[in-house]
Structure 1
Amino acid sequence: MLSATSVSRFAELVKKIETSATPSARKRKTAARKKLLRVIKEQHRYAKSAKLRAVAVTLTYCDANQLATKHISAFLDRLRKALRRQGHTLPYAWVLERAGQFHYHLILWLPRSYKLDFAKLSKWWLWGSSWAECCRSVTGWGRYMAKFDNTSIFPKGAKLFGYGGLDEDGKTAVARAGMPRWLQLLLPPSRRAFRCPGGGWADGLTGEMYRSPFIWTPQGAILASRRPLKSHIA
């Protein structure tokens, strides 16, 4: 029969296992953080040329059971339509977080003449409270958004983040940021590549196939110098 001390230690170990992120979960979180920060960086670049200002927004649910992806989509659609009437587009990024209640943090890039006031927020976000303020530090707010805390308690299928409104240069930069380093060095700077079934990456323009020069072993990755790096899809 287990002693009280053994039971206590076993319970503590189980709790640690349940609450510790798996390597795959940590990898997904790192990739998501990297992608989101690159999105915000590219939006910032575009905003400077388009003379847009950054606005930090938080939309909070009063009831966690109401959480639904369609709500953030509805909010953005209403704002997008209002801007479209004035001839503007809407670059944006959002993350879902839970600290107490579920809430969204957003960064919106708006014309300097457009005011996102409390009346608009209350009308467009119907599921709880809202907050908005001029974003004085895009880098700081971006890092705050990219924490991705408490993701293990999200409902199954809930999206961690979303974004839109990138120009073509921004889309290419974000796509390349998600590629392995070896592929970024091989692929021409202005091009994107896509994963292929069965392994490898395909150049979206030429169809050329790129395969990793590394193979995985129990000791880690090693360079397979004789392995072909590039081929062509017939």
Structure 2
Amino acid sequence: MTLTFADNGKFCAKLISRFIACVRQAMKRLGHRLPYTWVLESEGRLHYHLMLWLPRGFVLDKQTLAKWWPWGTTWTACCRLVKGWARYMAKFDCMDRIPKDIHVFGSGGLDETGKVAVQRAGLPRWLQAILPRGGSARRFPGCGWTNTETGEIYVSPYRWTPWGWAVRDLGDLAPAGASV
């Protein structure tokens, strides 16, 4: 699903929560949870991309969507390739045009496995590649990332230069006093 603002000036970060609350309430009346994930994008007009796991047969009609999202337009489709849509949602190429101090993604209604998967998907790819399966990490200010189970610290293999990102020398990653 895509929720687009008709006017970027009408953007308010709380509107996505209002929309999801409406859908969640409808699911609750039917006895279902609402697993979802969303991301804010600014290519063109500000808009949200969402994945909602709805029960078979449940339809969000245009009139209901217009009532729940009166700030612009909506687009919906049945997702046949969840991984492909998730990859599309995960592209963060327009971050410079998103208002400061705004959450750019969110999720809810997930079980523990889903929460871990969403948290892991938000990590840098280099960290996903080296973090043990099922492991999680948090940003460790000034150092990089830390494994939440072991406390091991991971340092990015990249460093910023005036010409852009560059791969660090192996010596930059070695602990003090260690030889490479």
Q: CA deviation at 1:146?
A: 3.6
Alignment of 1:214-229 (within 5 A): 220-223=167-170, 227=175
Instruction: State TM-score, norm by structure 1.
Output: 0.56
Alignment of 1:192-231 (within 5 A): 192-199=136-143, 201-205=145-149, 208-210=151-153, 212=155, 220-223=167-170, 227=175
1:159 equivalent in alignment to 2:103: yes
Partner residue in 2 for 1:45: none
* Aligned mates of 1:139, 1:89 — CA distance in 2: 21
* Aligned mates of 1:200, 1:101 — CA distance in 2: 33
- Residue identity in the other structure for 1:59: L
Q: Which is further off, 129-138 or 63-72?
A: 129-138
Partner residue in 2 for 1:88: 32
Structure 2: where are the runs of 5+ without partners? none
Partner residue in 1 for 2:69: 125
1:78 equivalent in alignment to 2:1: no
How many residues matched?
170
Q: CA deviation at 1:180?
A: 7.2
Deviations 1:90-127 (CA, angstroms, capped at 9, x unpaired): 22222323454322222211111322111221221121
Does the 8 Å contact 2:143/2:153 carry over to 1? no
Partner residue in 2 for 1:106: 50
Q: Larger C-alpha radius of gyration, 1 or 2?
A: 1
* Aligned mates of 1:60, 1:138 — CA distance in 2: 21
* Aligned mates of 1:158, 1:174 — CA distance in 2: 18
Q: Which has the higher helix share?
A: 1
Instruction: State TM-score, norm by structure 2.
Output: 0.70
TM-aligned CA distance change 1:197 to 1:117, over 3 Å = same
* Aligned mates of 1:179, 1:153 — CA distance in 2: 21
SS of residue matched to 1:69:
coil
